[in-house]
Amino acid sequence: MVFESKVDNWLLSILGLGIALSLSAAAVLLFLLPTVPNVFLAVVILATGVVLPFWLILSTKYTVTQSELKVRSGPFKWVIERSEISSITETRSPLSNPALSLDRLLICYGNDKKLMISPEDKQGFLKALGQD
């Protein structure tokens, strides 16, 4: 079962601002100062300031299978054996994790490992994991 990440409006606003600034910076480099180093820099700015945020927003998902929880967020991926999950608690921690909302679940698993996620349907997610 696949669960989409909940996305906070404030995060979309910040990412939108970052995307707009990145597009502006790349445009200045490409149109006002079109040298080879500036073209390279514009490509790097577009990749990190535009492509990566869109990739994170569009790909952050949590998949529950019979034996695993698979977490995907852009280029990042975690696979957690369901049998290794020791606890799931609600949190609003702002620490960086594959969660696009502060309405999060803290998953403790393995040898003192932790991961925070933000499924849009928390109750359905917990039910799918058998933690309801």
Q: What's residue 96's pLDDT?
A: 86
CATH number for the 1-132 domain, one of 3.90.1300.10, 1.10.287.3510, 2.30.29.30, 4.10.490.10?
2.30.29.30
Q: What's residue 132's pLDDT?
A: 60
Name the 3-class secondary structure at 101: coil
Residues of the chain with pLDDT under 70: 132
Q: What's residue 131's pLDDT?
A: 73
Q: What's residue 34's pLDDT?
A: 87
Per-residue pLDDT tens digits for 99-116: 999 999 999 999 999 999
Contact criterion met (CB below 8 Å) for 20 and 47: no
- Which residues share a beta bridge with 25? none
Per-residue pLDDT tens digits for 26-37: 999 999 888 999
Q: How many angstroms separate the CA atoms of 73 and 15, rounded?
A: 15
Q: Is 58 exposed, middle or buried (0-12, 13-18, 19+ CB in 10 A)?
A: exposed
Model pTM score: 0.84
